[in-house]
């Protein structure tokens, strides 16, 4: 298999980049797989061949490399997901190499009438998508696809002991007995962070922490509003995110807009791997992967957040969210990707 991506750029603090990095890190262990990084960075701990070229892929050395390699299938992981331009670039890769192409489409992209026609003309052999809803949309257009959810690093993200959790709270100057809600992701309107603002305005005694991404510029108006409300905002790269998950009582994912995150929000899986209770909307593939229970709640409005934490009657019982996330490790997901690619050869 040949893997081509433009997502290998530090820091890896955003869902699409983290997905590409983790899957490619595992695939790179096999000699038969080769990785071509487009406009990426060196020093990321993965053996890759670098190409600084434009997005059309029209570069003599790059095309010569494609023809020289013996791999029979290409996994294309574009930053922009399955946009029309990504589909066209995938078709170019097929024409230049003769290989079967698979696109890993991390985020839903919808097309107008003419776009749907173009998508069908330039469609790759198969698209991998994390969510069944997007798979159904692609199927309706006549585009072949396979559903594979995304994963989590269950070594990096793990449950701390009670004493270590207390130490982490002290490290971040948070009272030991204070209720803490956490959200991780871009600070922009599409994340529906207004729900957390509503919670904070009604209950100033609740500590709400938002860890932003350095990948996209923050919405400055929203950023200022969050800080003014008393919400703590970290808008810089935090290397050990397990600390933040483990100091929280709940992880809250309020996103509604399907363009607000990739189809499997990695932060939810990371929080689950740290054994933190989850409050989330019915976003993307989460409804395919998990069922609502006493430690994994699907919410429909901001008042649901307050209602759940107010009736926190299960707190003394054991949370088994880590167990639910175990079948979605990156090793498991990468094995499924390899099976799909093997079938294209």
pLDDT over 70 at 315, yes or no: no
3-state secondary structure of 34: strand
- The 10s digit of each residue's pLDDT in 220-246 is 889 899 999 999 998 877 889 999 999
pLDDT over 60 at 318, yes or no: yes
Of 272, 67, 233, residue with least CA distance to 149: 272
pLDDT over 60 at 213, yes or no: yes
Tell me the two tokens of residue 337. Answer: 């990707």
Note the pLDDT of residue 216. 59
Which residue did the predictor score with more confidence, 220 or 298?
Answer: 298
Note the pLDDT of residue 341. 96
Sign of torsion over alpha carbons 227, 238, 212, 266: negative
Of 317, 182, 186, residue with least CA distance to 245: 182
In angstroms, the CA 164 to CA 170 distance is 10
In angstroms, the CA 34 to CA 44 distance is 15
Work out the pLDDT band at 312, boundaries 50, 70, 90: low
Q: Mean pLDDT across the stretch 304-326?
A: 83
pLDDT over 60 at 110, yes or no: yes
In angstroms, the CA 176 to CA 179 distance is 9
Q: How many Å from the N-terminal Cα to the C-terminal Cα in the chain?
A: 9
DSSP state of 51: E
Note the pLDDT of residue 220. 85
pLDDT over 80 at 40, yes or no: yes
pLDDT over 80 at 317, yes or no: no
pLDDT over 80 at 127, yes or no: yes
Cross-strand pairs, 296: 278, 293
Neighbours of 318 (CB within 10 A): 8
Calculate the alpha carbon distances from 303 to 64, 78, 222, 244, 245 in Å: 58, 37, 20, 24, 22
How many percent of the chain have pLDDT more than 70? 97
In angstroms, the CA 22 to CA 7 distance is 11
Q: Which domains does the chain have, with CATH numbers?
A: 2-151+329-342 (3.40.50.2000), 162-328 (3.40.50.2000)
- The 10s digit of each residue's pLDDT in 254-286 is 999 999 999 999 999 999 999 999 999 999 999
pLDDT over 90 at 334, yes or no: yes
In angstroms, the CA 32 to CA 238 distance is 34
Of 260, 221, 298, 181, residue with least CA distance to 14: 260
In this structure, of 54-58, 177-181, 332-336, the range with the lowest mean pLDDT score is 54-58
For the full predicted model, state whether its pTM sits above 0.75.
yes
Calculate the alpha carbon distances from 256 to 215, 282, 284, 298 in Å: 20, 8, 9, 12
Calculate the alpha carbon distances from 68 to 46, 63, 71, 92, 252 in Å: 21, 9, 9, 16, 48
Which residue did the predictor score with more confidence, 295 or 316?
Answer: 295
Of 118, 143, 4, residue with least CA distance to 71: 4
Distance of CA 314 to the CA centre of its chain: 29
Neighbours of 256 (CB within 10 A): 13
Q: Angle, nearest 10°, between helix axes 60-68 and 84-97?
A: 60
| CB crowding 130-160: b at 16 or more within 10 Å, else e | bbbbbbebbeeeebebebbbbbbbbeebebb
Note the pLDDT of residue 43. 87
Of 290, 297, 293, residue with least CA distance to 326: 290
Q: Which residues contact 93 (CB under 8 A, 6 or more apart)?
A: 4, 57, 66, 74, 76, 99, 101
Strands (E), 177-249: 180-184, 207-211, 232-234
């Amino acid at each position: 298999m040949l893997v081509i991506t433009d997502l290998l750029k530090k820091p890896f603090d955003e869902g699409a980049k983290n997905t590409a990095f983790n899957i490619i890190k595992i695939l790179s262990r096999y000699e038969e797989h080769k990785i071509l990084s487009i406009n990426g960075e060196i020093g990321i701990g993965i053996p890759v061949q670098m190409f600084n070229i434009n997005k059309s892929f029209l570069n003599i050395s790059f095309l010569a490399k494609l023809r020289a390699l013996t791999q029979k299938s290409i996994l294309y992981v574009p930053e922009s997901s399955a946009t029309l331009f990504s589909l066209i670039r995938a078709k170019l890769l097929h024409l230049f190499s003769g290989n079967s192409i698979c696109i890993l489409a991390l985020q839903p992209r919808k097309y107008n009438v003419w776009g749907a026609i173009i998508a069908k003309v330039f469609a790759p052999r198969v698209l991998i998508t994390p969510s069944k809803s997007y798979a159904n949309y692609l199927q309706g257009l006549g585009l072949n696809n396979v559903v594979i959810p995304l994963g989590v690093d269950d070594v990096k993200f793990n449950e701390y002991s009670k004493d270590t959790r207390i130490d982490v709270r002290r490290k971040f100057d948070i009272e030991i007995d204070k209720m803490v809600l956490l959200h991780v992701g871009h600070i922009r309107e599409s994340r529906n962070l207004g729900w957390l603002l509503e919670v904070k305005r009604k209950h100033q005694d609740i500590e709400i922490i938002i860890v932003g991404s350095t990948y996209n510029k923050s919405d400055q108006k929203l950023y200022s509003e969050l800080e003014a409300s008393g919400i703590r905002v970290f808008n810089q790269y935090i290397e050990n995110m397990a600390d933040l998950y483990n100091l929280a009582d709940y992880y809250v994912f309020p996103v509604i807009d399907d363009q607000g995150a990739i189809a499997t929000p990695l932060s939810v899986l990371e929080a689950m791997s740290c054994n933190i209770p989850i409050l989330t909307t019915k976003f993307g593939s989460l409804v395919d992967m998990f069922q609502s229970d006493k430690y994994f709640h699907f919410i429909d409005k901001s008042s649901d957040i307050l209602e759940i934490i107010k009736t926190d009657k299960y707190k003394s019982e054991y949370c088994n969210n880590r167990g639910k996330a175990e079948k979605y490790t990156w090793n498991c997901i990468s094995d499924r990707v390899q099976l799909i690619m093997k079938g294209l050869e």
